[in-house]
């Protein structure tokens, strides 16, 4: 299954092949120089690929974000982890428990290793 967002301001409702929806934003963990205390990662506003993984870190699917780094995908009942394919450093988020027709708002992180 593959779901792609088509425009910068559009997040299409996923085809509900599965009862649960995971949607969210990619954030940029990269920061030039020392990271200030209290720094909050900004949205990563670029098209990238969110990798959806199972509890064993096996890849289940890949989902493209829109140009603002937002994504949406329908999934079966289960526990999921997310990472960004284009990240130099692997920043996995989760676990996210999607069951019983839930809609989860989640975060994923892009990290190019710049500090």
How far apart CA 20 and CA 30 sit, in angstroms, is 31
What is the pLDDT, as a whole number, of residue 115?
63
In contact, 94 and 12? CB cutoff 8 Å? no
In contact, 54 and 47? CB cutoff 8 Å? no
What is the pLDDT, as a whole number, of residue 88?
86
Provide the residue-wise pLDDT of the chain in tens; the chain has 115 residues.
444 444 444 554 545 578 899 999 999 988 777 878 898 899 999 999 999 999 998 999 999 999 999 999 999 999 999 999 999 887 899 999 999 999 999 999 998 876 6
Would you kindly state where each structural domain of the chain is located, as residue ranges? 20-110
Q: Which CATH class is domain 20-110?
A: mainly beta
What is the pLDDT, as a whole number, of residue 36?
84
Measured between alpha carbons, how far is residue 114 from residues 23, 32, 35, 39 in Å?
27, 6, 11, 15
């Amino acid at each position: 299954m593959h779901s792609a967002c088509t425009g910068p301001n559009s997040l299409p409702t996923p085809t509900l092949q599965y009862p649960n929806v995971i949607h969210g934003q990619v954030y940029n963990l990269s920061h030039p120089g020392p990271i200030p205390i209290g720094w909050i990662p900004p949205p990563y506003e670029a098209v990238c690929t969110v990798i959806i993984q199972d509890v064993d870190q096996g890849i289940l699917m890949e989902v493209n974000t829109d140009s603002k780094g937002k994504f949406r995908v329908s999934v079966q009942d289960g526990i999921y982890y997310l990472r960004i394919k284009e990240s130099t450093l692997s920043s996995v988020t989760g676990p996210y428990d999607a069951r019983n027709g839930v809609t989860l708002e989640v975060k994923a992180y892009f990290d190019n290793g710049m500090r």
